[in-house]
């Protein structure tokens, strides 16, 4: 399949130079053991590949109980490392999760308190702040992002200029290289961006777009429904059915270019967000409709990446993590098409809500030199912990003001049977901006205010808004069916105060 990025037209020397191959290895840090207490020298620091899928639910993979879809590559990844059963996204929606992953700060603190960004949004990460890529870049890593961005481009006063230079963006928050798309695949503009420019844009056919939907209805663009309208940029439009292969190819190219130095790859596939558009060769391959077919394409893409890591003899010293930005949803998929597939397993709720189905995620970590194969961990962790964990992994000091909600969970990765909790509590965030709190097995969902009666009723029906105050003990009620709020006033009081403490303190790490 033809690769549509500009970098494919570059000479090899120029391409390697653009990706930063010139970084020297002499100043690379020493690798830290779990807990960061001591360090041992290795051939070089370990590579990190963080794969953040879109809308994959807790029950969408074979290794998490799915029977109507086949995920052999992800199942092998789990068999070769550790599979977590209590891992969570910091939000049940994509933008707030993604900004929290990169910054180590809950998005509800200000970066994205509710909803998601459109393609006309400015960058919501402050350039120069400590992020996962900026921290690893300072530690000598080459850093690349491929796939979904959804964190904005340009300055707040001006926003993005898709006909000019898209700056600031990923490169200004720590990435050496970026190839991806601006928002969601159902939002305009439907173009690829490489570093600071739209790929294949004809200056004689400039892009013009609006994020508003005429009469509140999605419009057809390039054969699929979108949020907003777009004219111009015809030569730059992506083809939805080819996106998985394009991103897989770009991710592999980045790894190949940096095989001789430590690298961090933030790989964010399109799959399986709507419009669900698997390549025709995957259509009809699952037992639960087009959504299942798209999971098959995602599994293929991950498999291609793993093949490249093996081919380049990098597997042993590469930490590969696979997870998702929020729980699954049946948006635009009928119950008949889904054919009884439990996309979120036996969990209650779905994407956008505070129940477990909205934010409890599949989380797989493989690292042959450090993680024993075939492990299962019950430790509670959160994707927001990536920053502090990478700091520990590289023996890098995390500034006190950075990652205020990120915890080092490296000990849980290396020892799945570790008895001591690496994370005692967690604040959960819904797409509507509501919060809940978990400590140990107890989970408090306070009654939410705001919204009209019709909106409340709809959100309650979909599991996005609780009807009243709710308290659950997840140890014996993972499906959140038995509300014990009235029976435990002391626990309610404690969790209410803990949530308020974290809100007012501006941080949860170290408080």
Active site residue 150: yes
Q: Exposure pattern of 361-370 as b/e (b: 16+ CB <10 Å)?
A: bbbbbbbeeb
Burial class of 27 by CB neighbour count within 10 A (0 to 12, 13 to 18, 19+): exposed
Cis bond leading into 477, ω under 30°?
no
Contact 132, 386 (CB under 8 A): yes
510: left (phi over 0), alpha (psi -120 to 50) or beta: left
What CA–CA distance (Å, rounded) separates 370 from 143?
Answer: 22
What CA–CA distance (Å, rounded) separates 29 from 138?
Answer: 10
What CA–CA distance (Å, rounded) separates 247 from 269?
Answer: 7
How is residue 34 written in tokens?
């779990």
Out of 88, 112, 150, 288, pick the active-site residue: 150
What CA–CA distance (Å, rounded) separates 257 from 448?
Answer: 49
Active site residue 94: yes
Number of other residues whose CB lies within 10 A of the CB of residue 484? 14
Note the helical H segments in 276-355. 289-311, 335-338
Size of the chain, expressed as the number of residues it contains: 511
What CA–CA distance (Å, rounded) separates 120 from 134?
Answer: 25
Which phi and psi (to 5°) does residue 125 adopt? -105, 130
Out of 94, 190, 268, 382, pick the active-site residue: 94
What CA–CA distance (Å, rounded) separates 87 from 81?
Answer: 15
What CA–CA distance (Å, rounded) separates 327 from 57?
Answer: 4
The C-alpha angle with vertex 120 and arms to 115 and 126, in degrees rounded to 5, equals 75
Helix, strand or coil for residue 212?
coil
The C-alpha angle with vertex 58 and arms to 57 and 60, in degrees rounded to 5, equals 65
How is residue 261 written in tokens?
């130095």
The alpha carbon of residue 388 and the mean position of all alpha carbons in its chain are separated, in whole angstroms, by: 16
C-alpha distances out from residue 311 to 46, 298, 299, 306, 502, Å: 17, 20, 18, 9, 46
Q: Exposure pattern of 226-248 as b/e (b: 16+ CB <10 Å)?
A: bbbebebbeebbbebbbbbbbbb
List, by residue number, the catalytic residues: 94, 150
């Amino acid at each position: 399949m033809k690769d549509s990025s500009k970098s494919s037209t570059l000479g090899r020397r120029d391409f390697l130079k653009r990706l930063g191959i010139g970084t020297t290895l002499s100043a690379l840090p020493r690798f830290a053991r779990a807990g960061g207490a001591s360090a041992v020298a290795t051939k070089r620091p370990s590579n990190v590949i963080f794969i953040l899928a879109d809308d994959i639910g807790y029950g969408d993979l074979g290794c998490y109980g799915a029977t109507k879809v086949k995920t052999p590559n992800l199942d092998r990844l789990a068999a070769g490392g550790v599979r977590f059963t209590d891992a969570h996204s910091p939000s049940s929606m994509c933008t707030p999760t993604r900004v929290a992953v990169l910054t180590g700060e809950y998005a509800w603190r200000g970066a994205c308190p509710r909803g998601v960004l459109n393609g006309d949004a400015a960058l919501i990460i402050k350039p120069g702040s400590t992020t996962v890529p900026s921290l690893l870049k300072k530690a000598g890593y080459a850093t690349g992002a491929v796939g979904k961005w959804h964190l904005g481009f340009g300055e707040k006063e001006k926003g993005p200029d898709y006909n000019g230079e898209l700056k600031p963006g990923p490169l200004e928050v720590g990435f050496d290289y970026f190839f991806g798309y601006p928002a969601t695949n159902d939002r305009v503009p439907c173009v690829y961006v490489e570093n600071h420019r739209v790929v294949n844009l004809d200056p004689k056919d400039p892009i013009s777009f609006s994020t508003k939907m005429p009469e509140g209805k999605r419009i057809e663009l390039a054969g699929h429904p979108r949020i907003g309208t777009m004219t111009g940029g015809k030569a730059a439009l992506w083809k939805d059915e080819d996106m998985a292969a394009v991103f897989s190819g770009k991710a592999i190219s980045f790894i190949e270019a940096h095989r001789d130095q430590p690298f961090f790859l933030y790989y964010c596939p399109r799959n399986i967000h709507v419009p669900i558009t698997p390549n025709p060769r995957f259509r009809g391959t699952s037992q639960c409709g087009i959504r299942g077919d798209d999971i098959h394409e995602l599994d293929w893409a991950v498999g291609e990446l793993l093949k490249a890591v093996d081919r380049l003899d990098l597997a042993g010293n590469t930490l590969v993590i696979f997870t998702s930005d929020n729980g699954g949803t049946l948006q635009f998929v009928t119950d008949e098409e889904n054919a009884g597939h439990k996309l979120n397993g036996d969990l209650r709720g779905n994407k956008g809500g505070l129940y477990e189905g909205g934010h409890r995620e599949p989380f797989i970590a493989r690292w042959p030199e450090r993680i024993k194969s075939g492990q299962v961990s019950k430790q509670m962790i959160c994707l927001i912990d990536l920053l502090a964990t990478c700091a520990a992994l590289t023996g890098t000091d995390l500034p006190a003001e950075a990652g205020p909600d990120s915890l080092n969970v490296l000990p849980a990765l290396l020892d799945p049977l570790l008895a001591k909790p690496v994370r005692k509590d967690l604040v959960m965030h819904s797409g509507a901006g509501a919060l809940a709190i978990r400590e140990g097995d107890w989970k408090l969902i306070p009654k939410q205010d705001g919204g009209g009666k019709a909106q409340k009723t709809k959100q309650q029906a979909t599991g996005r808004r609780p009807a009243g105050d709710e308290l659950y003990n997840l140890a014996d009620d993972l499906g959140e069916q038995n509300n014990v709020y009235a029976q435990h006033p002391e626990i309610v009081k404690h969790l209410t105060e803990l949530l308020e403490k974290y809100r007012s303190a501006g941080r949860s790490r170290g408080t």
